[in-house]
Amino acid sequence: MGTIGADIVIQILREQGVDVIFGFPGANSLPLNDRLMESSIRHYLVRHEQAAAHAADGYARATGKVGVCLSTSGPGATNMVTGIATAYMDSSPLVALTAQVNTSLLGRDAFQETDIISMTIPITKHSFQVKNIHDLASNLREAFEIATSGRPGPVLVDLPRDILAAQCEPAGPVEETIRNGYKNGSDGREAIERIARALNQSERPVVIIGGGVKLANACDLMGDLIAKTQLPFVTTMMGVGSVNAANGLNLGFIGSHGFELANSIVHQSDFILAVGTRFTDRSTSRIDEFAPLATVAHIDIDPTSISKNIKADLPFTGDAMEAIRTLIPMIEPRDRTDWMNRIAEERTSVEEKVPDRGCGPAGTFIRRIQEALPDDTMAVADVGLNQIWTVRSWRTRTPRCLLTSGGMGTMGFSVPAAIGAKIGAPARSVVAITGDGGFYMNIQELATIRYYNLPIKIVVFNNGHLGMIRQIQNLFFDARYNSIELGEGTDFVAAARAFGIPSSRIRVDNASDEGIEALGRTDGPYLLEAVVDSENFVFPIIPPGRSNVEMIFGQAD
């Protein structure tokens, strides 16, 4: 057996440091699956291709390395689409390998053929369909380069079966390529000097930390900046956990499900230093009423993010790490006692108005879960009320201790992403926190957890409803509840047992320690069904079409 295309794929994956793939095979991917048998790369067989993409994404978020997923052509490839889009929206570096029909069959509607390249153009940074064995190595190398450079994101490589099976020579050394596009420049020192001057003059500054700070590995430096300057800061939801400041400078996260204090202080500020955020509508709500008094300095690696949503008065396009490093020595100390006093006063009044951080018993419950688990536990939130409860209540200690699908809001993300996170960071403890609705979406991955014996904890908040949609119907559709009832039909404890995973059920508002202890104590996987009242919403929230300071605090009925 000489070298074939599949061996080249494995050779390049190894060269790029890949030792794990999440995938699901099919006839067209078999040449590769076959050769993976002898390679040192572990192929984790998930139970649905969407889970392969989410797991690779979770792996990337937990480790900062590129996640790799693999599917067959046609239905396998289309099943990965949601996972690829999720990674795209949160700038998670991913290489998605899809098998394809033989090149001679392309365009003939062959069995299991699909034009996955066209389908994924809007949700990938770039994609390759390898039509010539001589391009295989360079296309794969470029895929990794593109996935990780500048603003990270997913790249798809479509691999026709005959290319995977073709006889060839092993790949040669890396060649220089002349592609443009994904290499990002930097605006230079003057732009940072302008930002520093404006910041030094400001009376009421605030820093907004986006998810890009984590992606740039700039959390420590950002921490230094905050510590040195004593600037108050907020984060976006994706930025939660970037900087660990228990000293009153952290005001929480902004946006439609964010903290009243954070939204209010941003609104009153006269200067914003925003780093690694694209000012999504989830963070800003109405852009015409966002921070009306502030001069906005915006640092981002992606030139298209600057002034896309919020006009940047002082833009800097470039790496956050480099920008912050340049900025720190330029910042002068300044007395801002009035501003800090105002923040302290507001904090006190908000804490009275919004007890339990707006999460009710669910928030308290999440904190008890956290206490029962090791300090370094990563929480992987799903989407819905459970996500907001988690992001608002989890005490974030390190940048990668909270993973969530922010940009896309993909239900079903948490369980497969937790699988990827656990495999990427085996020494850390991982808990997936989900609602019953989201849990149904990838429940089959319990089988993967059991098969590989992954010690993942799962908390399923069972409110019998699509809770967050119920809250929206409650508030904005006159409490006319429709198409949201899941009922109490499923015994999740029995379901978990059916998958071979020990489990128990408790009520959130009357939680005995027993279930929580069992969750913390069990060595292998464990599922805790947490029954929660369907009227347990999250407050405050911002109605659609309103500004960040028009939060509402109670329900309709």
Partner 1 sequence: MTVEERTLSMLVNNRPGVLSRIAAVFSSRGYNISTLCVAETINPDISRITLTSSADSDFTEKIKKQLYKLVDVLEVSDFSGPAFLHRELMIFGVKVTPETRIEIMRAIERFGCRIATMSQSYYILESTGSRPENEAVLAYFDPFGVEEMNRTGSVALKKIFEAATPRT
Angle of the 260-268 helix axis to the 337-353 helix axis, nearest 10: 150
Which member of 47, 126, 336, 400 binds partner 1 (CB under 8 A)? 126
Closer Cβ to partner 1, 118 or 247, answer by number:
118
Which member of 34, 302, 322, 491 binds partner 1 (CB under 8 A)? 302
CA–CA separation, 449 and 415 (whole Å): 9
We find the least distance from the C-beta atom of residue 198 to partner 1, in angstroms, to be: 22
Piece of 174-182, 191-199, 233-241, 337-345 that binds partner 1 (CB under 8 A): 174-182
CA–CA separation, 461 and 433 (whole Å): 8
> By CB under 8 A, is residue 181 in contact with partner 1?
yes
Query: With CB cut-offs between 5 and 8 Å by kind, which of partner 1, ligand TPP, none does residue 117 bind?
Result: partner 1
> By CB under 6 A, is residue 516 in contact with ligand TPP?
no
Q: Please, which residues bridge with residue 314 across strands?
A: 297
> By CB under 6 A, is residue 508 in contact with ligand TPP?
no
Judged by CB under 6 A, the chain residues 245 through 274 that form the site for ligand TPP are none
Query: Count of alpha carbons within 13 Å of 282, Cβ hemisphere only?
Result: 18
Closer Cβ to ligand TPP, 84 or 261, answer by number:
84
Strand, coil or helix: 384: coil
**Residues near 328 by beta carbon (within 8 Å), at least 6 away in sequence:** 221, 224, 225, 228
Strands in 503-507's sheet, in edge-to-edge order, are 402-403, 378-381, 430-435, 456-462, 526-531, 503-507
Which member of 56, 164, 274, 411 binds ligand TPP (CB under 6 A)? 411
Strand, coil or helix: 4: strand
CA–CA separation, 89 and 154 (whole Å): 9
Phi first, then psi: what are they for 232, rounded to 5°? -70, 145
Closer Cβ to ligand TPP, 239 or 406, answer by number:
406
> By CB under 6 A, is residue 386 in contact with ligand TPP?
yes
Dump strand ranges (E) for 463-539: 503-507, 526-531
To which residue do tokens 């030792």 refer?
Answer: 19
Which member of 436, 492, 495, 529 binds ligand TPP (CB under 6 A)? 436
> By CB under 6 A, is residue 191 in contact with ligand TPP?
no
Q: Please, which residues bridge with residue 504 across strands?
A: 528
We find the least distance from the C-beta atom of residue 550 to partner 1, in angstroms, to be: 27
CA–CA separation, 254 and 153 (whole Å): 24
Query: With CB cut-offs between 5 and 8 Å by kind, which of partner 1, ligand TPP, none does residue 482 bind?
Result: none
We find the least distance from the C-beta atom of residue 394 to ligand TPP, in angstroms, to be: 15
> By CB under 6 A, is residue 538 in contact with ligand TPP?
no
Judged by CB under 6 A, the chain residues 453 through 482 that form the site for ligand TPP are 461, 463, 465-469
Binding stretches for ligand TPP (CB under 6 A)? 383-386, 409-411, 435-438, 461, 463, 465-469
